[in-house]
Amino acid sequence: MTKPTRQSWKGVREIIHNRILNSAFRPGDKFPKDEDLATEFGCTRTTVQRAMRSLAEGGIVERKRKGGTRVRQDPITRATFEIPITRKEVESKGSVYRYQLIHATEKNTPQKIVANFGLAAPEKMLNVQCIHLADSNAYIYENRWISTNTVPEILKVDLTVESANEWLIRHRPYSRFDFRVYSINANSKYARVFDTDENQALLVFERTTWIEDKPITSVKAISSPGYHLIARGIK
Amino acid sequence: MTKPTRQSWKGVREIIHNRILNSAFRPGDKFPKDEDLATEFGCTRTTVQRAMRSLAEGGIVERKRKGGTRVRQDPITRATFEIPITRKEVESKGSVYRYQLIHATEKNTPQKIVANFGLAAPEKMLNVQCIHLADSNAYIYENRWISTNTVPEILKVDLTVESANEWLIRHRPYSRFDFRVYSINANSKYARVFDTDENQALLVFERTTWIEDKPITSVKAISSPGYHLIARGIK
DNA sequence: AAGTGGTCTAGACCACTGA
DNA sequence: CAGTGGTCTAGACCACTTG
C-alpha cells in the first residue's frame, strides 16, 4: 500500500498526515519514536525527522524531547499573507500605478507612534504622507513615520519620485515587525481621498518595523473601499 | 569575530543574514555556492543548506538549482496569523466565553457559497448561524455552511452545546483553506447584535476549507467593533 | 552538458525534559 | 537520569535549470 521503493521525506509526511486525516491517530495521540517509524518506513531517522518537522511547522503535530510526537490537541490554523510592494500589487492587477507625495516633514512623534515603537520618549522623525493610485484612483493612503536616527539616508531621498515604501523595502532590511489589521469608518478626509461616502468602512493596516530593536518605520495604510486581504494555505 | 568553534546552522544563518543586513550583499547579489560557504565556515554543506533553507523560507533569499542563491530583489514580507478556536481566543483575554446557536438548517447553498467552494452547482448543506460571546457581549457573529456530503456526522452533533467551529476543528482536519479579510458597514441586524450604530465599520473574515478537493465548511465571521487582527514576525 | 541546490544514508553526539 | 528529538558530519546520488 505504501510506496515500495525508497522513501522520500514528502512521502513519509504524506503517510503520517494521512494517518491523522483518517483518524488512525487522533488529537493527543502519541506517535512511535522517529527511530521506530524509520524502521517501519525503511528509511533513516533523518528522513522521518524532516517529515515530522514539516508537520510540526504546519501546526499539525507537536514535538518534544523525551515527550515524543503527538497530534496537536487544537490544530492551529496559520494563515500567511504576503505583503508586496504596493506598486507591484497594483501592477499585478493590470492597473497603472502612480504615486503622489502629500508632504514629508520632520516633527516629533505623537504618542501613538511612541507606543508603536516602544520608545521611552517622543523623537524627531520624518513624517511622510502619500497616496498610491491605481488607474488614477486612490488605492492606499499612507501615513508613515521614519526614524531619522536609524535611517538618516532617507532625508536625501527624493520622495516625490520614489515612494518611501519602496525605498525602505529595497534599502533597509528589518529584523522584526509588527502587523495589525482593523476596520474604521471613513472620516471626511478619507471620504474625499477615496471619493466615497463618509462612514464608508475601510480596511486599515499598521506595520511597524525594527532592526535589532532600533526603530525603522511605522506606517498606517488606509486601503480603498472593497479591498480584500487574501491568504491561501495548504496544511 | 565569527564563532571559532563548530558552526551551528543558526550561527551560519545569522552570519549570512548579517551580511545582508549590513549590505555586504545587496538585493540581486549572488552568494558563493553552498560548498564554498561550508569550507569558509568550517562546517558541512548540509549545515549551510539548513541555514539557507531557513533564509529562503523567510523570503530573504531565493535559491535555484544551477542558478545559485541570491538575495531577493523584493524582499517578501510574510505576516502569519494564528487563527485559534474562538472560545480559546476569548478565554485567553480573561473573558468568559459563551455561545449561542441561532439556527441550524439544511438548505441549498446560495451562489456565493457555491463560488467559495468552486462547486459545479448548488448543493444541500447545513447552514449554521451562531454568536460567540465574551462576557455576555457579542464577540463574533458566525454564518457557516457545512457540507453534509463530506461531513455527514455533523447532523448528529448537538450544536446547541458545542459550536460547529470547535467540533470541526477537533474532528475534521482539512488539507487546504482559503482565508480573506475585509471591512463592511454594519447593517441593522449586525448593529443590533453588537449593540452599536448602523454603519459601524466591522472586520469580516471568510474561511473556506477543503479536504482533498471535497468541501468541508465555508464560514463568514463578523467581528465586534474594535477587533484587531494581530501578527508579529521575525525575519 | 554541466553546475548548483535538494535529498538521502549511516552514524555520532548533544540538549532538553518528563518520569 | 534516561528517553526522545535536534543537530552535525562525510559522502553519495539525484533533479532541476541555465548557459
Lowest mean pLDDT among A186-200, B96-110, B114-128, B171-185: B171-185
Q: How far apart are CA B79 and CA A195, in angstroms?
A: 30
Q: What pLDDT does B226 receive?
A: 94
The spacing between the Cα labelled CA in B55 and the C1' in D9, in angstroms, equals 22
How far does A170 lie from chain B, in Å, by closest CA?
A: 7
Question: Inter-chain contact B179–A231, Cβ cutoff 8 Å?
Answer: yes
Lowest mean pLDDT among A70-74, B64-68, B99-103: A70-74
Most confident of A38-42, A230-234, B231-235: A38-42
Q: Over the Cα atoms of chain A, what is R_g?
A: 24
Q: Are A177 and B75 in contact (CB under 8 A)?
A: no
Q: How far apart are CA B120 and CA B50, in angstroms?
A: 44
pTM value?
A: 0.84
The spacing between the Cα labelled CA in A43 and the C1' in D18, in angstroms, equals 33
Please report, for residues A36, A118, A202, B220, B224, the alpha-carbon distance to residue B185 in angstroms, rounded to integers and kept in the order given. 56, 32, 9, 15, 12
pLDDT confidence band for B235 (50 / 70 / 90): low
Angle formed at CA A161 by CA A160 and CA A163, multiple of 5 degrees: 80
Residue of chain A whose Cα is closest to the Cα of B231: A179
Q: What pLDDT does A231 receive?
A: 84
- Judge if the beta carbon of B67 is closer than 7 A to nucleic acid strand D: yes
Q: Are B220 and B142 in contact (CB under 8 A)?
A: yes
Q: What pLDDT does B83 receive?
A: 81
More confident residue, A222 or A84: A222
| Span A168-223, pLDDT tens digits | 987 887 878 899 999 999 999 999 999 999 999 999 999 999 987 899 999 999 99
Q: What pLDDT does B74 receive?
A: 78
pLDDT confidence band for B234 (50 / 70 / 90): low
**Which residues in chain A are closer than 8 Å to B81, comparing Cβ atoms?**
78-81, 231
Please report, for residues A34, B7, B43, B45, B56, the alpha-carbon distance to residue B39 in angstroms, rounded to integers and kept in the order given. 31, 11, 6, 8, 21
For residue B83, give every residue at least 6 positions away whose Cβ sits within 8 Å of its Cβ, in sequence order, or none: A76, A77, A78, A79, B179, B207
The spacing between the Cα labelled CA in B71 and the C1' in D19, in angstroms, equals 21
- Judge if the beta carbon of A44 is closer than 7 A to nucleic acid strand C: yes
pLDDT higher than 80, residue A7: no
For chain B, what percent of residues have pLDDT higher than 90? 71
Taking the C1' atom of every nucleotide in all shown strands and the CA of B64, the nearest one is C5
More confident residue, A21 or B5: A21
| Span B138-161, pLDDT tens digits | 999 999 999 999 999 999 999 998
Which grid cell sits at B63? Answer: 535559491
pLDDT higher than 60, residue B94: yes
Residue A108 pairs with which residues in a beta bridge?
A: A124
Residues in A 106-165 whose C-beta is less than 7 A from nucleic strand C are: none
**Which residues in chain B are closer than 8 Å to A231, comparing Cβ atoms?**
81, 178-180
Mean pLDDT on B11-32: 91
- Judge if the beta carbon of A26 is closer than 7 A to nucleic acid strand D: no
pLDDT higher than 80, residue B6: no
- Judge if the beta carbon of A189 is closer than 7 A to nucleic acid strand C: no
Q: What pLDDT does A209 receive?
A: 92
- Judge if the beta carbon of B11 is closer than 7 A to nucleic acid strand D: yes
| Span A120-173, pLDDT tens digits | 999 999 999 999 999 999 999 999 999 999 999 999 999 998 899 888 987 887
Q: What pLDDT does B4 receive?
A: 39
Which grid cell sits at A133? Answer: 493610485
Q: What pLDDT does B76 receive?
A: 75
Which of A85, A201, A233 lies at the smallest CB-CB distance from B201? A201
| Span B44-84, pLDDT tens digits | 999 999 999 999 998 899 999 999 999 998 777 778 888 87
Which grid cell sits at B113? Answer: 457559497
More confident residue, A75 or A118: A118
Taking the C1' atom of every nucleotide in all shown strands and the CA of A52, the nearest one is D5
pLDDT higher than 70, residue A87: yes
Mean pLDDT on A78-97: 87
Q: Are B75 and B58 in contact (CB under 8 A)?
A: no
Mean pLDDT on B88-117: 94
State the average pLDDT for chain B: 91
